[in-house]
Structure 1
Amino acid sequence: MTAVVTGIGGFLPPRRVTNDDLSRTLDTTDEWIRTRTGIRERRVVSGGLSTGALAVEAGRRALRSAGTGGVDAVVVATTSPERLCPAVAPEVAFRLGLGTVAAFDLTSACSGFLYGLATAAGLIGSGTADRVLFIGAEAFTTLVNPEDRATAPIFGDGAGAVVLRRGEPDEPGALGPFDLGSDGALADLLAIPAGGARQRSADGGPGHGAVPAADWYLRMEGRPLYTQAVERMTQSARAVLKRADRSVADLDWLAGHQANLRILQAVAEELELPEERVAVNIDRVGNTLSASVPLLLNDYAARGELRAGQRVLLSAFGAGLSWGSTVLVWPGIPAEPVG
């Protein structure tokens, strides 16, 4: 038995921030951002809206898509938790009326959706759960320095969710083999230095020692990350296609993590995949980390561009460093537009 996608949902906060909006406070322009990232606008949380609320709404829509009101477990992938403790998943399960089901968070940044899919599939494969609600939810703009023109234009907030059920490996929606990897030697290429146990211990505990303001925000080394992203996503995609006994020619879509349009184009070129088979919505949502791939799938399904029977390669790369890929044949499930 394996995990089968049976429902999908997404949610974006209502506040839109365009490149022109950013140019009013940053030394940047719409053209500079678009030509380097492919992003035109992004959604940003405000007014107390945060990760948990985004996750609840995306989860509600995924449950509606699946036509079910119950699951055996809730998993939330996020790198922007509501609080350092506790996990947000139990609260999400409660707010969705799912009772006292198993619920936990996982953190794998932009690779969170792939790692979460593998984890949820493991719960199903082991017999621990028959049905799992898995959500990628991020309010990551709260962790990005609004004065840093290298990172502030890149990220957006949102949530995407899928419902997985126990099923047969050869039916539509069945998740194929996974390829997952990491390289902790390069962890500092993308990191938030302050806030965790390492910084608190070094300072002698909370309230001790001065922490530079910039350390509370994301630091990113763009050039080496670009190289790593293209290399790792390409290698992972090839590995999972080989394990699934498929070729690039078999694919209808590459649904890759929406970090940068240039990265997606470079991966497609390395794979010799025509650019028209690369799914893209980064122009409207930016980089939403663990929410990126499910939001993309929901978007294309809702618009009718992702149809039942089409073969899809999912691939992502992010902080850690971490990466992952899997394949599936898209099932015939309804998807609601997220606006």
Structure 2
Amino acid sequence: MIRSVVSGTGSALPARRVSNAELAEQVDTSDEWIVERTGIRFRHLAGPDETTATLAADAARAALAAGGHAAQDIDLIVLATATPDQTFPATATKVQAMLGIDDCVAFDVAAVCSGFLYAVQVADSMLRAGVHRRALVIGAETFSRILDWEDRTTCVLFGDGAGAIVLEAQDVAEDGRGILATRLHADGRHNELLYVDGGPSTTGTVGKLRMKGREVFRHAVTNLAAVMGEALAVAGLKTEDVDWVVPHQANARILDATARKLSLAAEKVIVTVDRHANTSAASVPLALDVAVRDGRVRQGDIVVLEAMGGGFTWGAAIVRF
């Protein structure tokens, strides 16, 4: 059967790393307050010359190198972001040009923190249909551009970064590598709980992020546990079959609560929120790349990717790595 196999991972972070203590010099907050409520200790913030596209291109180059691929091997780029470089064209096309790819399909997906999972399913479908052979799937964000730096309840939560994977269509056995199942959801009734108060067709401005944290927390734990269960059932697997969970890195409390709800051992959950904060669509591929490069995630492992974000949107993917 044809499956989409992960053949390389990569990530990129802005040069500037900001600690909670440094942030407390600008915002009415403290290291203790942030760590206790979120588990975050550091985040990276993009400088003037760093954009969603430059971070995405750097992550893509790292993923290509890890998989031993040349840029010209890629015939599809799907980039998940809520913070594109421009209203149009798609940031994916800027990445295409930066990589020196003469011609390939390139477009953006907007599903906020779940964007990478949406992008994975889109690319997987196109690869399995035989339309494309090798895809770059990227999550990249510069959320610092849309934060209200006077709102301490939100500005301390987010950071900038990018992560990427190379997906390759391969003919494998039933028990072979690749994406085994994906499940996506959306419920637009919850727009007011997590959104940006601007846009081209409404205010004509970029706007700032707004969030009701307690309500988001409650929905996140319930939705993430449910969609992970759905995806595992489709793949014919049980929780005990899972080697690693790579979750959206929103808040350490959400990660802990979701693991408890699924009776997952804490040591099976990849956690990078302490060093990266919430990087929205970038957080899952960023965390995955960290775990691959430090040797935790190995070939043959069953890995669950999951995320929930504004919309609400949420989803999960099961991968035999």
2:214 to 187, 212, 223: 223
Whether contact under 8 Å (1:37, 1:261) holds in the other structure is yes
Is the counterpart of residue 184 in structure 1 residue 175 in structure 2? no
Maintained 8 Å contact 2:245/2:270: yes
Cα offset for 1:88?
1.0
From the superposition, tell whether residues 97 and 265 of structure 1 become closer, same or farther in structure 2 (CA, over 3 Å): same
Q: Determine whether 1:312 maps to 2:303.
A: yes
TM-score under structure 2 normalisation? Answer: 0.96
Alpha-carbon distance between aligned partners in 2 of 1:47 and 1:172, rounded to the nearest angstrom: 44
Residue 178 (structure 2) aligns with: 174
Query: What SS does structure 1 have at the residue aligned with 2:152?
Result: coil
SS of 1:254's partner is: strand
| 1:266 and 2:249 matched | no
- State the number of aligned residues: 317
* 2:57 matched residue in structure 1: 56
Structure 1: tracts of 5 or more residues without a match: 201-210, 331-339
- Residue 165 of structure 2 corresponds to residue 162 of structure 1: yes
1:76 to 44, 58, 79: 79
1:9-30 alpha-carbon deviations (Å, 9 max, x no partner): 1000110110001111111110
Q: Does 1:107 align with 2:110?
A: yes
- The CA distance in 2 between the partners of 1:169 and 1:222, in whole Å, is 44
CA contact (8 A) 1:234 1:270 kept: yes
Whole-Å separation in 2 of the counterparts to 1:170 and 1:29: 51
- Percent identical among aligned pairs is 39
Matching residue's letter, 1:50: T
- For residues 176 and 134 of structure 2, the distance between their equivalents in structure 1, rounded to whole angstroms, comes to 16
* 1:189 aligned partner, one-letter code: L
- Give distance in 1, aligned partners of 2:182 and 2:109: 17
Distance 1:258 1:173, change over 3 A: farther
User: What is the Cα deviation at residue 196 of structure 1?
Assistant: 2.7
Partner residue, 1:234: 225
| Cα pair distance change 1:165/1:325, threshold 3 Å | same
Q: CA offsets, 1:167-217, max 9 Å, x none?
A: 1264654011111101100012111121331334xxxxxxxxxx8xxx821
> By percentage of residues, which structure has more strand?
2
CA RMSD between the two structures: 1.3
* Counterpart-to-counterpart distance in 1, 2:87 and 2:190: 24
Q: Which amino acid aligns with 2:38?
A: T
After TM superposition, what 4+ stretches of structure 1 lie above 4 angstroms from structure 2?
none
Aligned CA distance change for structure 1 residues 169 and 117 (closer, same or farther; 3 Å): farther
Distance change >3 Å, CA 242–CA 102, structure 1 → 2: same
**What displacement does 1:96 show?**
0.3
- Tell me which residue corresponds to 2:121: 118
The reply to whether residue 132 of structure 1 matches residue 135 of structure 2 is yes
2:75 and 2:103 in contact (8 A); partners too: no
Residues 35-72 of structure 1: per-residue CA shift (max 9 Å, x gap): 11110000000122110100110011111111111211
Counterpart position of 1:277: 268
SS at match of 1:104: strand
CA separation of 1:44 and 1:312: change in aligned 2, threshold 3 A: same
Conserved in 2, the CA contact under 8 Å of 1:94 and 1:100? no
Offset from partner CA, 1:202-243 (integer Å, 9 cap, x none): xxxxxxxxx8xxx82100010110000001000000111111
What's the secondary structure of 1:186's corresponding residue? helix
Which moves more between the two structures, 150-159 or 191-200? 191-200
Question: In 2, Cα distance between the equivalents of 1:74 and 1:172?
Answer: 24
TM-score (norm 1): 0.91
- On the 8 A contact 1:4/1:172 being kept in 2, the answer is no
Moved more, 301-310 or 3-12: 301-310
